[in-house]
Structure 1
């Protein structure tokens, strides 16, 4: 990525950060500890509407799972922007991504699904989007969401 800002890169890619979704439980969506932001698990929701529900590999294709993961990634970036007073360019680097795919016992393409989020982070953040990751599966997720992703992001000190 050139010297283009992160917000500029979003525009170049034709992407907009969605409105942040409110937590659906007794927790906060993002916490800052020093120069790290911990973003709680994000669903593939846009404007409060769940876009992908069901099991990937049974109800949904891998490609739909990847799109769900991309929406989760955009939601993560949206929470970061809100925490940083809409200054998404404050991101120093993506540290770790944790993703869970709603799937059956025999599903084994978790990494392919989570690549949807990882590739979006790389496209938007460039080298700052390189991260460690875990991709796992679960027999169910809240609201039957197809994918849930959380992230740890380093930002420049205040």
Structure 2
């Protein structure tokens, strides 16, 4: 496996985005002891929110999974920036949180969240395997369908 997060993402035919800047009074990431916490990432295309809408209403399950993958790509961009693109500093992905804007009847949160989970595992291999929470919510920033955050374990 490559020691560059950017190269791992490129091998999947994807381009690692530049890290987005916080939209409010918070920071992109915090390292505490051997853990890296990355703030929530939403799906962005060319600096603009993508996949606006709610699952079970205006967006399909497939579009939700694509939104989750795109948000996770932003998460990898933040990870790369935090680790100076050095994958050898990463021990593993500990936890992935996936928040899905959906109506009250929507029950496919796990399938939507797989878009993010699959990208992390495909890009990072075993280091991408994680525990996960997939939660349906009534709305998310900028009206997007998905937001993801994560906790990573780093080398001491």
The two structures have a TM-score, normalised by structure 2, of: 0.93
Partner of residue 118, structure 1: 117
Aligned residues: 155
After alignment, is 143-152 or 82-91 more displaced? Answer: 82-91
**C-alpha separation between the residues in 2 aligned to 1:11 and 1:80?**
15
In the TM superposition, what whole-angstrom CA distance separates every residue of 1:64-112 from its partner, at most 9, and x where no partner exists? 1111101111111111111112324422110001111000000000000
Are residue 22 (structure 1) and residue 21 (structure 2) matched? Answer: yes
- Unaligned residue ranges in structure 2 (runs of 5+): none
Partner of residue 93, structure 1: 92
Partner of residue 44, structure 2: 45
What's the offset of the Cα at 1:6? 5.0
The two structures have a TM-score, normalised by structure 1, of: 0.92
Structure 1 SS opposite 2:27 = coil
Structure 1 SS opposite 2:52 = coil
Contact (CA 8 Å) 2:43, 2:67: kept in 1 or not? yes
Contact (CA 8 Å) 1:99, 1:149: kept in 2 or not? yes
Q: How does 1:27-38 map to 2 (within 5 A)?
A: 27-38=26-37
Structure 2 SS opposite 1:128 = helix
What's the offset of the Cα at 1:4? 3.9
Partner of residue 138, structure 1: 137
**C-alpha separation between the residues in 2 aligned to 1:13 and 1:108?**
29
**C-alpha separation between the residues in 2 aligned to 1:4 and 1:105?**
42
- Unaligned residue ranges in structure 1 (runs of 5+): none
**C-alpha separation between the residues in 1 aligned to 2:99 and 2:11?**
29
